[in-house]
Structure 1
Amino acid sequence: MKKLFIICASALALSGGFAAAQVGGTAQPNMAQNNAPMAAFTNPQTVPNDLARVDAALNNTLSFQGRFAQYGADGSFAQGTIYLSRPGKLRFEYDSPSPLLIVSDGVTLTQQDRALETTDRVPLSATPLNFFLRENVNLAQDTEVVALQKTPTEWRVAARDGSGEMDGTITMIFDASTLALKEWVITDGFGGNTRLLLSDLVYNQRLNPRLFILRDDSRRDRRR
């Protein structure tokens, strides 16, 4: 079974691997800003204050809904609608023809594949998504921050699990002026990148709690 790296989800594969959302062969967009390598930390002396600003921006985002586009490390492409409600709740509704639905209820991240009639589960705490879905985000305390790169248009914060229990890195990319999260990149233990871009986001409106409850009507239920 191929791995799904999302947001997410995405991040899911780093904790054990869900099935890939293979929809065509659209290539990933070029992630490089230019040919010159950037230093891991653009302004080392301001990293604590910069991370505190990022934490505040994430903590002030109570919810959002909008669209996502997912570019897989294997060349796959998928898109759909995303719903996020902190702490811990997330929903990815993939557009047809993808059969996937991914939901976090705050404790467990669950993937349903309607085509295979399967359900897979993994603890949210075992995925990098947990880092920015917590009630109180503190990246310096909860992760090992390995890069904080700043340009006039965006900030890129790369973090990994400081305990060493999860392979790979998550890079969160923020708008430089508003510090709104606009995409993230999951780098797996083999160096493959999966990119998820966010668009048309509507913030801090009440979302239906039922969005984050997944009814298990599949024939096979596999727990990880």
Structure 2
Amino acid sequence: MTRITKALAALLLVSTAPFAVSAQIGVAPNPVLQPAAALPAFTHRQTVPQDLNQINASLNNTGSFQGRFTQYGADGSVASGRVTIQRPGRVRFEYDAPNPLLIVSDGVTLVQQDRALETFDRVPLAATPLNYFLKENVRLQDDTEVISLQKLPDQWRVTSRDGSGEMAGEITLVFDPGTLALRQWVITDEFGGQTTVQLSDLQYNQRVDPRLFILRDEREDRRDRRRR
């Protein structure tokens, strides 16, 4: 079974144990979604199909974005870095020093490199919730089980889970109510722990260097050179 680190599991809701311990940079309260117990799961039930179509259209019209992210772990850890996303399927999370982590997807495989430990951990992109909103044609209502869509004055948030039941937990996407730009996502694991990824300083649909999504295992390169 592929070894998945704790950081990758927390960030992407990957539930393939065992976990390795990864670096934690700083401690801060997790800005989890404020409880909305007084609100129904669907605040505007009559318009859910239209609202989901608007969200799908916003995601589908976003070919790429680059900016900053801050990740708040359920355990109180906090880390930040630079994020680059290019649909379909390509993503790069480059953590700020001294965090040694780099997470890259080439559209098929998601790879985490730990520069300090010199490790590479791989998982299929399709095994993570990122795949739901990095697809070429996003349709949340078809690709996931939508269990909540709440339209609030300061945000829209849609919560989904894997309809097949193979992937535990839930993902909540949070959007700006005016532009429907993605602002953050919240991963809730099967035990109720939440990891929040906040996005900031985003630039949309600009040219992205394709080399950002290529991550080679230097150990394999060295082995190849020795065989020659």
- 1:7-156 equivalences under 5 Å are 10-14=11-15, 20-32=22-34, 36-156=37-157
Q: Secondary structure at the match of 2:11?
A: coil
Displacement of 1:217 in angstroms is: 1.4
Partner of 1:90, secondary structure, is: strand
Shift of residue 30 of structure 1? Answer: 4.9
Identity over aligned residues, as a percent? 62
- Secondary structure, in 3 states, of the residue corresponding to 2:84? strand
Q: Distance in 2 between matches of 1:30 and 1:214?
A: 32
Q: In structure 2, what is the Cα distance between the partners aligned to 1:67 and 1:106? A: 21
After TM superposition, give the deviation of residue 39 of structure 1 in Å: 1.1
Quote the Cα distance in structure 2 between the aligned partners of 1:30 and 1:123: 27
Q: Please show how residues 128-207 of structure 1 align to structure 2 within 5 Å.
A: 128-207=129-208
CA distance in 2, matches of 1:166, 1:29: 24
Q: Distance in 2 between matches of 1:39 and 1:21?
A: 38
Q: 1:146 to 1:93 in 2, by over 3 A?
A: same
With over 3 angstroms needed to count, the CA separation of the structure-2 counterparts of 1:5 and 1:169, relative to structure 1, is farther
By how many angstroms is 1:178 displaced?
A: 0.3
Unaligned runs of 5+ in 1: 220-224
**What's the CA shift for 1:218?**
4.3
2:182 aligned with 1:215? no
Change (3 A) 1:5 1:112: closer
1:222 counterpart residue number: none
Deviation at 1:13, TM superposition (A): 2.9
State the TM-score, normalizing by the size of structure 2: 0.89
* Residue identity in the other structure for 1:45: Q
Residue of structure 2 aligned with 1:3, choices 2, 6, 14: 6
- SS of equivalent to 1:111: strand
Distance in 2, Cα, partners of 1:193 & 1:79 = 17
C-alpha deviation, 1:125, in angstroms: 0.3
Change (3 A) 1:141 1:18: farther
In structure 2, stretches of 5+ residues that fail to align are 221-228
1:5 and 1:186 in contact (8 A); partners too: no
- Give me the CA root mean square deviation: 1.8
Distance 1:5 1:193, change over 3 A: farther
Say whether the 8 Å CA contact 2:90–2:134 is kept in structure 1: yes
State the TM-score, normalizing by the size of structure 1.
0.91
Cα distance in structure 1, aligned partners of 2:79 and 2:50:
36
1:124-164: CA deviation from partner (whole Å, max 9, x where unpaired): 00000000000000000010000000111110000011011
| Cα deviations by residue, 1:154-197 (Å, 9 ceiling, x for unpaired) | 10000011011100100000000000000000001111000000
